[in-house]
Chain A
Amino acid sequence: MRVVILLAFLLPILALAQVSLGAVHIPMRSVIAALIQPEGDFLATIVRQQRLPRVGVAIFVGACLGVSGLILQKVMQNVLVSPSTLGINAGATLAVVLSVFFLGLDGRSLFLPGLLGGIAAMALTLMAARLIAGQGDRRLDVVLAGSMVGILCSSASTFVMTLDSDAFGTMIGWLVGDIGNFDHLMLPMVALPAGAALAGAFLFSRHLDVMVTGDDQAALLGVDVRRVQALAVGIAVVLAVSAVVVVGPIGFLGLVVPHLVKLALGETGRATLLAAMLAGPCILMLADIAARVAVAPRVLPVGIVMGLAGGVLFLGMVLSMTRRGRA
């Protein structure tokens, strides 16, 4: 629990840093003044209209992707799976892009197509994993299948966008994951399904915990494995898609967060879910600060920073797993 309390302290500190740092540096006293006083100067306008929504969306997206990754890793007993490595993010992205291009849907009606895309991509990944299953590590088969599905969906999304780049306007940044450029009206649309999914994760946490012992062992302990797997994957997909439709596909956050949570707290307990809910936003805020400070005054989409950092970590994890497998 100490880890959860530490993260709960860290979150507001990082939130203040995220508001203060950026292309325009805003001193902390101006940040606090902007939070307290209804009217203010130019800096207060930046705080209220640009930086604070960025903080809010980082908290929402970080919590969704962190918990989604943790649930997937528990229920699939695989430290390499996450919404991005299973192709869920890319599937939801493609569905959103197709809905905008062919159906002319706007931001407020993109959750359902995104959800269908995420579910279809997950199903495709699981089917492909069965087809390519060899004698080696099955956990790598799933991730390989997820990567193939992810690459296919991402390429298709880019292709559709290049057909008529004007039609997508600012969505080009969304394609790589950008928390600085989102439709504020989308948050209430996804808050309900994401909230319900988070509540479900906490309700079923004990069943999810038993799944970490493996499918057979969980069945022996009294878990209806198929039902819990379906439910858990459903919750994870809803959470990932809720994040994707708002800010685009942010890779590797759902991979990194469970890894850190397990290091700090172990595999089980509701505290792991709470920690993932807090660690996700903290890491995303750090990445966002880096995205805005690294090449200031220019601002990188946060998805690029997460992709670079997470990609290196992912490679390290695969190498460590294959070395252990050979040993």
Chain B
Amino acid sequence: MDPLRLDGACFGYGSHRVLHDVSFSVQAGEFLAIVGPNGCGKSTTLRLLAGLERPDAGRVLVMGREAASYSRRAFARHVALLTQGVGVPPALVARDMVAMGRHARQGFLNRRSREDDAAIDRALEEMEVADLAHRRMGELSGGQVQRMRMAMVLAQGGDVLLLDEPTTFLDLRHQYGLLRRARRAAREGRAVVAVLHDFTQASLYADRILLMHEGRVAGHGTPGGVLTETAIHRVFGVRTRGVQMGGAVFHIPAEP
């Protein structure tokens, strides 16, 4: 049973159709990167997988069950999503926000358990933000906020980790650190899906690539097999020269 499966999913906002018959699945232990031009439906696909939207047609299956059949609490124990950078309340204490990752694992009246505290501390350490945990979110830089939000998602745990442009605001060191952590989550047995814009990072960290174009799947497979010069020209409308090195695919403009 695949932790995540999208079966012929169609979705639109009002009369504007965003996704057309999108199908793919992600296995446990696999890291899938979704790439494609702006507005091609990448984030909407993640919103469907995270149960924030329901498909107009087709199915979203999480751990073999329709996503809509879960309660929000049960769903949050399986699926965690790092959304694109949204505003966080400036007066919110950073550690309190990370602790919210454990909300779905606590009983109605229960306080945080030792296990919860350990998960929170571990996530703060992994994102290298433990020393900022007592600060308010409004005092942190964009990159620090993003790492704190990733710590919240890591503290949440679960079988599926969804990341929407997770490297936004991060410097190079923390971009690699976050992607390494995401890949380790996959190696630990989670199904990981990340929307990425950087082909090199996508090819270096992901096992498979899903290339999207105008709400449809335009390619699905290994990085080397999907991120070809022809596919990139067809989808992005730019001519590039592709080079493969050390498992990574590099593309440079053919006409700078």
Contact = CB atoms under 8 A, between A and B. Distances in A.
Contacts of B156: 221
Contacts of A206: 103, 106
State the majority secondary structure of interface residues on B. Answer: mixed
Interface in B53-102: 71-73, 75-77, 79-81, 83, 86-89, 91-93, 96-97, 100-101
A213 B72 contact: no
Given A206-B106, A220-B76, A225-B72, A266 B100 contact: no
B103 A221 contact: yes
B91 A266 contact: yes
Contact of A269 (B75, B96, B136): B96
A48 interface: no
Contact of A268 (B50, B83, B87, B92): B92
A224 interface: yes
Given A221-B76, A222-B75, A224-B72, A213 B101 contact: no
A260 to B, nearest CB: 11
Interface in A200-247: 203, 206, 209-210, 212-214, 216-217, 219-225
Contact of A220 (B50, B88, B96): B50
B93 A223 contact: no
A212 B89 contact: yes
A213 B76 contact: no
Contact of A266 (B51, B104, B136): B136
A269 B86 CA distance: 22
B181 to A, nearest CB: 19
A222 B103 contact: yes
A262 interface: yes
Given A221-B103, A224-B73, A216 B92 contact: no
Nearest to B51: A219
Given A213-B89, A214-B86, A224-B73, A219 B136 contact: no
A213 B137 CA distance: 11
A131 interface: no
A4 to B, nearest CB: 16
A263 interface: yes
A224 B51 CA distance: 12
Nearest to B86: A214
B86 A220 contact: no
Nearest to A264: B91
B253 to A, nearest CB: 35
A213 B88 contact: yes
Contacts of A224: 71-73
Given A266-B93, A267-B89, A267-B92, A210 B72 contact: no
Contacts of A220: 50, 52, 76, 79-81, 83
B72 A216 contact: no
A77 interface: yes
Contacts of B101: 221
Given A217-B86, A222-B73, A223-B72, A210 B96 contact: no
Given A217-B83, A220-B76, A210 B92 contact: no
The residue in B50, B80, B83, B91 that gathers the most chain A C-beta atoms within 10 A of its C-beta is: B91
B92 A219 contact: no
Contacts of A222: 72-73, 75-77, 103-104
B109 interface: yes
Interface string B179-213: 00000000000000000000000000000000000
A201 B233 CA distance: 57
Interface string B103-117: 110100100000000
A267 B94 CA distance: 10
Contacts of A225: 72
Given A206-B106, A220-B76, A224-B71, A77 B100 contact: no
Given A221-B156, A268-B92, A216 B83 contact: yes
A136 B105 CA distance: 37
A203 B93 contact: no
A213 B71 contact: no
The residue in A217, A220, A225 that gathers the most chain B C-beta atoms within 10 A of its C-beta is: A220
Contacts of B81: 220
The residue in B52, B86, B103 that gathers the most chain A C-beta atoms within 10 A of its C-beta is: B103
A210 B100 CA distance: 6
Contacts of B97: 213
Nearest to A221: B103
The residue in A203, A209, A263 that gathers the most chain B C-beta atoms within 10 A of its C-beta is: A209
Contacts of B77: 222
A205 B79 CA distance: 24
A268 B152 CA distance: 15
Interface of A: 77, 203, 206, 209-210, 212-214, 216-217, 219-225, 262-263, 266-269
In order of increasing CB-CB distance, the 3 nearest A-B pairs are A222-B104, A222-B76, A222-B73
27 contacts: A77-B89, A209-B96, A212-B89, A213-B92, A213-B97, A213-B100, A216-B52, A216-B83, A220-B76, A220-B80, A220-B83, A221-B100, A221-B101, A221-B104, A221-B156, A222-B73, A222-B76, A222-B77, A222-B103, A223-B72, A223-B73, A224-B71, A224-B72, A224-B73, A262-B91, A266-B96, A269-B96
Given A209-B96, A220-B76, A223-B73, 5 more contacts: A217-B86, A219-B51, A222-B103, A224-B71, A267-B91
